[in-house]
Amino acid sequence: MTAKINERQAPNRMAKTMKMQRLMPASEEPNRLDQIYYVAARIFCEKGYDATSMSDIADAVGITKAGIYHYVESKQDLLFAIMNFGMDRLETRVITPARAVADAEQRLRTIVRNHALLIMEGSAVAGYNPVTVLNDEMAGLTPVHRRKVLQRKRDYLDLLRDTLRQLKDEGKLKEVDDTVAAFSLFGMLLWLSRWYHPDGKLSAGQVANEMEKIALGGILRPQVRLARK
């Protein structure tokens, strides 16, 4: 348990170790950092992580190469920071609100809807969410950083699987394996980061509705869902 709490604190600890020069008012710093993470993630996705230099990122963000080093110490630290940025947003927007829901079915709906909306909100017009896509770039991390990111992913998997087990105990889950069901939901959700176009024919809200229907329909018993209508 202590280990998990430490994992969660990691991004904050890390932010403190970054040299954050006052290039702008203190109040605006988090947004500037967020912007760097988002733009860097996009460049990494387009060029590939290893082929991207810190100069490429500085150019894209619109600051000097020296300027970028005021925010991050190295490309490897930047990759880790982007992953934690993504996981922090997941924590704030999906995990924390979901944990606050006692009813398992409503908690599952919260997870699916909020995660889908979070991914679509960060999707570029090019048709992908660079922060979510980059979350797969585990090969670029140091072993220590990789373990930390993996632990955060595992905590989320545990939340989802525990929710499915609770639904099983309540007789609401179909006869499906909870691990396969959990990863199937993740696959559906995370794939959104690779195909959703913000200027496509469906709005983010409509896509979230469709995904909720498909996801819940795939794993909950029909009578339960009919009863809820």
- From 55-63, 91-99, 160-168, 206-214, span contacting a copy of itself (CB under 8 A): 206-214
The whole-angstrom separation of Cα 105 and Cα 101 is 9
Q: Is 142 in the site for a copy of itself (CB under 8 A)?
A: no
At 205, the amino acid letter reads G
Task: Classify 128 as helix, strand or coil.
Answer: strand
- From 11-19, 69-77, 103-111, 204-212, span contacting a copy of itself (CB under 8 A): 204-212
Residue 63 or 190: the one with the smaller Cβ distance to a copy of itself is 190
Q: Is 228 in the site for a copy of itself (CB under 8 A)?
A: no
Place of tokens 């017009």: 125
Q: By the 8 A CB rule, do 68 and 61 touch?
A: yes
Question: Within positions 53 to 112, which residues make up the interface with a copy of itself, using CB under 8 A?
Answer: none
Q: Is 187 in the site for a copy of itself (CB under 8 A)?
A: yes
Q: Is 119 in the site for a copy of itself (CB under 8 A)?
A: no
DSSP state of 100: T
Q: By the 8 A CB rule, do 139 and 83 touch?
A: no
In angstroms, give the least distance from the CB of 175 to a copy of itself. Answer: 8
